[in-house]
A and B are shown apart, each in its own frame.
Chain A
Amino acid sequence: MEDATLIFVVVVALGFDFVNGFHDAANSIATVVSTRVLTPRQAVAWAASFNFIAFLVFGTHVATTIAKDVVEQGVLSIGVIFAGLVGAIVWDLITFWFGLPTSSSHALVGGMAGAAVAKGGFDVLVSEGLRKIGLFIILSPLIGLAVGLILTVVISWAFFRVRRLDRLNKGFRRGQLVSAAAFSLGHGANDAQKTMGIILALLIAGGHVADNGEVPLWVVLAAHTAIGLGTLAGGWRIVKTMGSKITRLQPAGGVAAETAAAATLFFTSAAGVPVSTTHTITGAIVGVGAARRLSAVRWGVAGRVVWAWVLTIPGAFLISALTYYAVEAFA
């Protein structure tokens, strides 16, 4: 019976990964679609491929952080993880409905924390791990913004003498294929690992993996497949917000934004920090817009996005805590 429940929650975790790919596909492909380098259909296929192969490039440090550094291992049970996942998925779907590019990662962290606190009180939170995640909630968009802005300035200086703008744009359109691929690689690495972390925690809680155990290969492959399939399914509402409502992008700006976000994701994935791919690319897009002038950024939309970020952890926390109480009442 317990194994059947565990398998069910693993499927829910993979469902979260699918929703994450679906929700965040927009981040990977919004700029490529908005600059008309690829059609939406081609863009999702391109992003999904690089989401999938990310497991060949990066380790599993982020998965370990999610499994061991958010809440104490002793409090983790199948019920806690299930409630945490439900909170994150419900929050993702609510924000998806309103077209807000919020963070699935922070929804997951908030969800896990909410369910664990409902079971064991606030003492079960791992302050060191949450501090690291909290630091990068602020740092990752700031790094993306700064790198995006600096790259835009460098590109402007390097090519300001070029008179044939059509040829230059053609070059950057090709460049965007590479930068979008790099960003999708970073997205696959950081976000798929969060699901791996959840499944690892489940397997540890169920006694199928030792406390200090590594992520099994089938978990790695399943997580990357789920996020790749989710990306293939696509998320068009958010493409619109990311691709054109924050600031209008040219191909050169798209290259700068994606390269900046990819560099941030590569660094954080290697350092084992679970960051929001949404925050990172939003920061980078704002950086590209701010390089022209601050008024090129539509701050009303950017502000709406910031409010959604602020509400994500408490929102998912609350839904998960309520779900945990419901699970306990019915189980």
Chain B
Amino acid sequence: MDRRAAFFALAALICAVLVPLAEEEFRTLTICVGATYLVLALASFFDHRSRPR
């Protein structure tokens, strides 16, 4: 289990929850931060999987 990927995925989930609560002017920012964490979660997951054990 890659704990770092799980941490980033949780951060992406928090941002997703915040999107409907955010004011219109900050909605795009919230989406961008969430998308960044999703990319980081995927990158961390594949990085962890590709490492020789």
| Interface residues, chain A, with chain B CB atoms under 8 Å away | 128, 131-132, 135, 138-139, 142-143, 145-146, 149-150, 271, 290, 293-294
CB–CB B7/A290 < 8 A: yes
B-chain residues with CB within 8 Å of residue A135 when the two chains form the complex: 18, 21-23, 26, 30
Size class of the contact patch on chain B: 10 to 19
CB–CB B3/A294 < 8 A: yes
- Say which residue of B3, B4, B25, B29 sits within 8 Å of A139 (CB atoms): B29
Complex CA distance for A307 and B9, rounded to whole angstroms: 21
Once A and B bind, how many residue pairs between them come within 8 Å at the CB atom?
Answer: 41
| Interface residues, chain B, with chain A CB atoms under 8 Å away | 3-4, 7, 11, 14-15, 18, 21-23, 25-26, 29-30, 33, 36-37, 40
Complex CA distance for A128 and B22, rounded to whole angstroms: 10
Least CB separation from B11: chain A residue: A142
B-chain residues with CB within 8 Å of residue A294 when the two chains form the complex: 3-4, 7
CB–CB A131/B21 < 8 A: yes
Least CB separation from A134: chain B residue: B21
CB–CB A146/B22 < 8 A: no
B-chain residues with CB within 8 Å of residue A132 when the two chains form the complex: 23, 26
B-chain residues with CB within 8 Å of residue A293 when the two chains form the complex: 4
- Contacts A128-B23, A150-B36 aside, 14 further interface pairs with beta carbons under 8 A come to A131-B21, A131-B23, A132-B26, A135-B22, A135-B23, A138-B18, A139-B18, A139-B26, A139-B30, A142-B11, A142-B33, A142-B37, A271-B25, A294-B7
